[in-house]
Amino acid sequence: MSNRNTAAWQAADAAHFLHPFTDFKALADKGSRIVTRADDIYLWDSEGAKILDAMSGLWCVNVGYGQRTLIDAATRQLEQLPFYNAFFQTATPPAIELAQRLAEVTPPSFNHVFFAGSGSEGNDTIVRMVRRYWDIAGRPQRKVIIGRINGYHGSTMAGASLGGMAAMHAQGGLPIPDIVHIDQPYWRPHEDGPSRGLTRDEFGLVAARWLEAKIEEIGADRVAAFIGEPIQGAGGVIIPPATYWPEIERICRRHDILLVSDEVICGFGRTGRWFGCETMGYTPDLMTFAKGVTSGYIPLGGVMVGDRVARALIDEGGEFEHGYTYSGHPVACAVALANLELIQQRRLVEHVHDDVGPYLAAHYARLAEHPLVGSAETCGLMGALRLVQDKARGTPFAPEIGIGMVCRGHCFAEGLIMRAVGDRMIVAPPLVMTRAQVDEMVALIRRCLDLTLEDARRAGWLA
Ligand code: PXG
DSSP string, 64-107: -B--HHHHHHHHHHHHH-S---S-TT---HHHHHHHHHHHHHS-
The predicted pLDDT at position 102 comes to: 98
> Is the shortest distance between the CB of 301 and ligand 1 below 6 Å?
yes
Which structural domain, as residue segments, surrounds residue 335? 70-345
Q: Would you give the DSSP letter of residue 290?
A: -
Within this chain, do residues 234 and 337 fall inside the same structural domain, yes or no?
yes
Within this chain, do residues 331 and 244 fall inside the same structural domain, yes or no?
yes
> Is the shortest distance between the CB of 147 and ligand 1 below 6 Å?
no
Within this chain, do residues 362 and 290 fall inside the same structural domain, yes or no?
no
**Ligand 1 site-directed mutation target among 121, 127, 148, 152, most atoms within 8 Å of CB:** 152
Rounded to the nearest whole angstrom, what is the distance from the C-alpha of residue 119 to the centroid of ligand 1? 7
Q: Would you give the DSSP letter of residue 108?
A: T
**Ligand 1 site-directed mutation target among 148, 265, 266, most atoms within 8 Å of CB:** 265
Query: Is residue 14 a part of any domain in this protein?
Result: no
Rounded to the nearest whole angstrom, what is the distance from the C-alpha of residue 153 to the centroid of ligand 1? 6
The predicted pLDDT at position 75 comes to: 98
Domain boundary residue, one of 293, 313, 345: 345
Within this chain, do residues 213 and 313 fall inside the same structural domain, yes or no?
yes
> Is the shortest distance between the CB of 174 and ligand 1 below 6 Å?
no
Query: Is residue 219 a part of any domain in this protein?
Result: yes
CA dist., res. 207 & res. 283, Å (int): 19
> Is the shortest distance between the CB of 118 and ligand 1 below 6 Å?
yes
Within this chain, do residues 83 and 39 fall inside the same structural domain, yes or no?
no
Cβ(367)–Cβ(446) below 8 Å: yes
Work out the burial of residue 204: count CB atoms within 10 Å of its CB; fewer than 13 is exposed, 13-18 middle, 19 or more buried.
buried
Within this chain, do residues 187 and 258 fall inside the same structural domain, yes or no?
yes
Within this chain, do residues 352 and 341 fall inside the same structural domain, yes or no?
no
Query: Is residue 21 a part of any domain in this protein?
Result: no
**Ligand 1 site-directed mutation target among 264, 266, 286, 382, most atoms within 8 Å of CB:** 264
Within this chain, do residues 37 and 96 fall inside the same structural domain, yes or no?
no
Cβ-proximal residues to 253 (8 Å cutoff; 6+ apart), any chain: none
What CATH number should be reported for the domain holding residue 365?
3.90.1150.10
- Using only C-alpha atoms, the chain has a radius of gyration, in whole angstroms, of 22
The verdict on pTM exceeding 0.85 is yes
The predicted pLDDT at position 3 comes to: 86
Total structural domains in the chain? 2
> Is the shortest distance between the CB of 146 and ligand 1 below 6 Å?
no
Of 204, 188, 260, 207, the residue nearest 230 (C-alpha): 260
The predicted pLDDT at position 49 comes to: 97
Query: Is residue 336 a part of any domain in this protein?
Result: yes
pLDDT in tens, the chain (463 residues): 778 999 999 999 999 999 999 999 999 999 999 999 999 999 999 999 999 999 999 999 999 999 999 999 999 999 999 999 999 999 999 999 999 999 999 999 999 999 999 999 999 999 999 999 999 999 999 999 999 999 999 999 999 999 999 999 999 899 999 999 999 999 999 899 999 999 999 999 999 999 999 999 999 999 999 999 999 999 999 999 999 999 999 999 999 999 999 999 999 999 999 999 999 999 999 999 999 999 999 999 999 999 999 999 999 999 999 999 999 999 999 999 999 999 999 999 999 999 999 999 999 999 999 999 999 999 999 999 999 999 999 999 999 999 999 999 999 999 999 999 999 999 999 999 999 999 999 999 999 999 999 999 999 999 8
